[in-house]
């Protein structure tokens, strides 16, 4: 038997402390069961893993935390005789996910009779933003009376496979990959999504346009991302949410709603993350006084910066400066 431990490590040059403060995280779960197909599930995990590798570090960068789950945890024997390590359904520290994928395979019909698994799906789906089945995995969602939203919301760019099992089997890899790429496109932009697709399928030929279809053009999501980039580029200045709403050509109320929907955080939180990124860099790489750094990064003054640091990072700016330099061996 071959054992596989598929992980999605956080990459980047900043410390874990800095990343946790400045990089928002998408929690992705992939539900496995004995006899499931690893084909679609594996490619989903690889999409997010490669996206972590290719994306730059910063508040405009979502970090993907991918976990494999099963009813009992431990190793799960997939249809290919490969065993994958999983966490138990009730062992997570959070009860919701940004996206949940349900593996496919002929064993899905048997898994759909496991009341523990079905009960968990019923509990978690109300707190999960996106639930997608991979091929026959739809039988588990049907057993849990969960209806997949096959009509994409504006800007999501999800491409949906056909309903028959023959189509799903034949296109298992491409369909699941396309769904994962749509999430990457939404979070990190079309260029990162394209780079991920090219990395995973360098000889894809005619398949690449199909994988990236419906991922271009100016949508509301694109406008929100443009406003997010503007916030990041101008974070050191005195700017407001109303200014960013004008960049997106939206009313302030609609902008606030759409921004939270697309980016996962409010514009104010996003702006704070951007300012913290620059602040952390200046604390580590310069000798500027804390008060001057606060003024340069739009954080007000040293006292306000200290309050934010203690709340967000559990240390003072001076303590962070010492700690980061020790970690860097300076």
Average pLDDT over residues 149-173: 43
In a shared domain, residues 251 and 308 = yes
Domain boundary (211, 243, 276) is at: 211
Q: Which two tokens stand for residue 122?
A: 């019923």
Domain of residue 51, CATH code: 3.40.50.880
Whole-model pTM: value is 0.58
Domains identified in the chain, total number: 2
139, 37 in Cβ contact below 8 A?
Answer: no
Same domain, 207 and 224: no
The mean pLDDT value for 168-179 works out to 66
Query: Does one domain contain both 198 and 226?
Result: no
Residue-range definition of the domain harbouring residue 149: 2-211
CA-atom Rg of the chain in angstroms: 22
User: Which of 4-13, 134-143, 253-262 has the weakest average pLDDT?
Assistant: 4-13
Residue 229 pLDDT class (50, 70, 90 cuts) = confident
3-state DSSP: the chain helix, strand, coil percent, rounded to 5? 50, 10, 35
Quick one: which of 274, 268, 270, 280 has its CA closest to 317?
A: 280
pLDDT higher than threshold 60 for residue 67: yes
Which tokens hold the place of 185? Answer: 């496109």
Q: Point out the least confidently predicted range of 51-55, 158-162, 196-200, 311-315.
A: 158-162
Q: Could you give the CA distance from residue 186 to residue 179 in angstroms, rounded to a whole number?
A: 11
Rounded distance, CA 187 to CA 156, Å? 10
Three-class secondary structure of residue 26 per DSSP = strand
Write down the pLDDT at residue 217. 44
Higher-confidence residue of 2 and 206: namely 206
Show which of 188, 211, 234 is a domain's final residue.
Answer: 211
pLDDT value of position 15: 47
Q: Helix 172-188 vs helix 38-54: angle between axes, to the nearest 10 degrees? A: 30
Residue 79 has a CB neighbour count (10 Å cut-off) of: 16
Answer yes or no: do 57 and 191 share one domain: yes
Domain boundary among 155, 185, 211: 211
What CATH number corresponds to the domain at position 233? 1.10.10.60
Tokens of 16: 């874990």
Helix (H) or strand (E) holding 66: strand 63-70
18, 128: one domain: yes
Question: Do residues 61 and 200 share a domain?
Answer: yes
Do 98 and 245 lie in one domain? The reply is no
Residues 232 and 201 in one domain: no
Clarify whether residues 48 and 166 are in a common domain.
Answer: yes
Spatial separation of the C-alpha atoms in residues 159 and 176, rounded to whole Å = 9
Q: List the beta bridge partners of residue 101.
A: 30, 132
Same domain flag for 196 and 99: yes
Does residue 29 share a domain with residue 168? Answer: yes
Give the position of tokens 């990124």: 277
* Residue 166 CB coordination number (10 Å): 8
Mean pLDDT, the chain, rounded, equals 78
Q: Express each pLDDT in 79-135 by its tens digit.
A: 888 899 999 987 554 567 888 999 999 999 999 999 999 999 988 887 787 888 998
Given a cut of 70, whether residue 291 has pLDDT beyond it is yes
Q: 185 with 231, same domain?
A: no
pLDDT value for 171: 57
Lowest mean pLDDT among 70-74, 137-141, 217-221: 217-221
């Amino acid at each position: 038997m071959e054992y596989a431990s598929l992980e999605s490590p956080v990459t980047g040059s900043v410390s874990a402390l800095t990343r946790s403060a400045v990089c928002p995280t998408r929690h992705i779960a992939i539900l496995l069961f004995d006899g499931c197909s690893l084909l679609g599930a594996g490619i989903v995990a690889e999409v997010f893993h490669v996206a972590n590798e290719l994306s730059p570090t910063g508040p405009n960068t979502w970090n993907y935390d991918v976990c494999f789950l099963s009813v009992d945890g431990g190793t799960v024997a997939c249809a290919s005789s490969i065993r994958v390590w999983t966490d138990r359904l009730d062992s997570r520290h959070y009860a919701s996910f940004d996206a949940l994928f349900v593996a496919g395979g002929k064993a899905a019909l048997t898994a759909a009779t496991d009341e523990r698994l079905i009960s968990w799906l019923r509990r978690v789906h109300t707190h999960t933003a996106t639930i997608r089945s991979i091929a026959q995995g739809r039988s588990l969602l049907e057993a849990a009376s969960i209806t997949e939203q096959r009509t994409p919301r504006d800007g999501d760019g999800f491409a949906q496979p056909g309903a028959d099992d023959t189509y799903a089997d034949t296109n298992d890899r491409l369909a699941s990959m396309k769904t994962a790429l749509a999430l990457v496109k939404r979070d990190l932009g079309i260029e990162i999504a394209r780079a991920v697709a090219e990395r995973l399928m360098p000889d894809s030929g005619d398949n690449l346009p199909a994988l990236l279809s419906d991922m271009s053009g100016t949508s509301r999501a694109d406008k929100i991302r443009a406003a997010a980039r503007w916030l990041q580029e101008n974070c050191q200045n005195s700017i407001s949410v109303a200014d960013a709403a004008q960049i997106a050509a939206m009313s302030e109320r609609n902008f606030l709603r759409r921004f939270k929907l697309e980016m996962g955080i409010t514009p104010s939180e996003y702006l704070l993350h951007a300012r913290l990124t620059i602040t952390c860099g200046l604390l580590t790489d310069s000798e500027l006084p804390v008060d001057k750094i606060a003024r340069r990064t739009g954080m007000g003054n040293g006292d306000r910066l200290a309050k934010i640091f203690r709340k967000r990072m559990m240390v003072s700016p001076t303590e962070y400066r010492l700690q980061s330099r020790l970690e860097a061996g300076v």
